[in-house]
Structure 1
Amino acid sequence: MQCAEGYGRHLTLGVEEELMLLDAETLALAPGVERLLGPPGLKTELFSCLIETNTPVCETAAEVLAELERLRAEVREAASREGIVTAATGAHPFSQPEEQEIIQERRYLAMLAERPSARRQLVCGLHVHVGMETFERCLATLEAILPWLPAVLALSVNSPYLEPVEPGVLSARAGRLLELPRAGAPPPLPDRISWERVASAVADYTKIWWDVRPHPRLGTLEIRIADQQTSVHRSGAFAALLQALCVSAEPAARPLDRDDYLHERVRATRGDTHTNELLALVEQPSRELGTWELVELLREPPEAHRQLEVGQRSGREAVAADVVARS
């Protein structure tokens, strides 16, 4: 395996968003992604009611935000012609994953045959790719930022209604992901050999679903911890935050204890861990990058709180309507 083929770009950005497709009348999840594909940057996921958007490689968070706005607009326009609306959120407020159609492609059917519980994984994340100069730099940065990823999750929580709803949990997506193999924290990866040992155990390393992972083909560190954001500006803010974090995080003297990471990750699903410290850490590098104004948007309450407020006041159908209106 040639791990280093894509490396060489320093701190470039790329973002993947996972958007839900809803029936325009009922606001329930609706199949139809196959009818929306065509423009570059759009891809399928396991379910026919999901679509993934991919920005091109960007130099700045401002470029990322512009591309995210463009891609969302393209999907909205194509969806509207099919009686579909789009929703950007970590989990649908009332539709059940097990009831949704699966894309009838060999890779997805093989995934379900190997792991039937994948049918429960109808959750959406915001994946940020940060370009790395070398593979070794990528591994060192992974370990350096790992202690801060629970705080990233806490800032992003946006999936409070995934069934069975657990009171107080604001990111049910984060718990659902742990049902997958090779999820959560990566093991310590001190060198290329340790990565290749892990990656060679699966047919394709993109079937490693850690919260953060090297992506050698793209030459990036892919940070996968965050829930999908409803506000496109918050999505752009997370790109800026994570770019600055890759600059500011101190190299680790020794690998983080993975049990400690899991403990903090669980706390983060309730929005409870070190978010102010994270924002303080990235302030100086984000000012130098010219992105602090964007990062500061994350001082606002995470979007799960708005979902709960709307739901308590008007019901879950109103939550879906509010998410659609803001996506």
Structure 2
Amino acid sequence: MFNSTIYPTFFILVGIPGLENEHKLISPFFFIFYILAMLGNITLLAVFSASPGLHKPMFIFLSILASNDILLSTSIAPKMLCIFWFNDRLISFDACLLQMFFIHSFTSIESGLLLAMAFDRYIAIYQPLRYGSTITNNLIGKLVIMLLVRAAGLVGTILILIKRLPAFKTNIIEHSYCEHMAVVKLAAADIRINSAYGLFAAFTVAGVDLLFILISYGMIFRAVFNLPSNDSQQRALNTCTPHICVFLSFYVLAFFSFLSHRYGKRIPPYIHIILSDMYLLVPPMLNPLVYGMKTKQIREQFWNVLCKYRGTSEQ
């Protein structure tokens, strides 16, 4: 019997509460999401690496996004699939906090990268003559460091606040991964500070980033519609289409998950959890597909690399 006066040494992840008997039926979908995310993003990285013509700021941002998506998917999917397939629900307290750190850090970095990519498109369209001198490798490096520091600072504070909780009422997490509030709600203590800081961190990341993305696109659209011809307007919009699709998939799922978790009290718990899982697994799967299909340079370089590989293997 779990004693609420003892700090937990492990937690038990339920998986998808209410659908425990259906885990093996549900698991193929999540397995496919994970495999497609891995294959798609690894393929993108391979194409970028093998194609000197893609060693440009826009594609450097994409390679960083692909790397982050691989890490984000791997932070959640393997343990989730172990729960679904093998009923391996135990996770140590420290491993739970580590998973929480990785998941929330990589989502923070993902959001920041989407903002950086919106800024990249803004400069490319609004000030094209200054693009080469503004978006440099040095600037990209500084932006990535800032995103890493922001993620580590915000999420690290979350973990410190959890470590200060004196006791837990139970060690059963009604979730398929170690999500911040799902763990905090188990505490036998006042969690108002943890809850308030969680909202602050979420707003600092998603709220601020989304606000500046929308501002960037407001200025982009104003610049596009001031272009002299419909053809030039169409070309400019086409360069933004993949990014718009990617940030919409990320933020729409994020806000559905957030709103259903906090305000959808009549929604069954398994809906909350499935939305949370999809928010983390679907965008990493979609991102390489969207950019691969919508970006001409990536499609061309992909076929060039594939043809070179076939030619080498036939010799």
- Compute the TM-score of the two structures, normalised by the length of structure 1: 0.29
Structure exhibiting the larger radius of gyration computed from Cα positions: 2
Q: Between the two structures, name the one with larger relative contact order (CA 8 Å, sep ≥ 6).
A: 2
Q: TM-score, normalised by structure 2?
A: 0.30
Name the one with the larger strand percent: 1
Higher helix proportion: 2
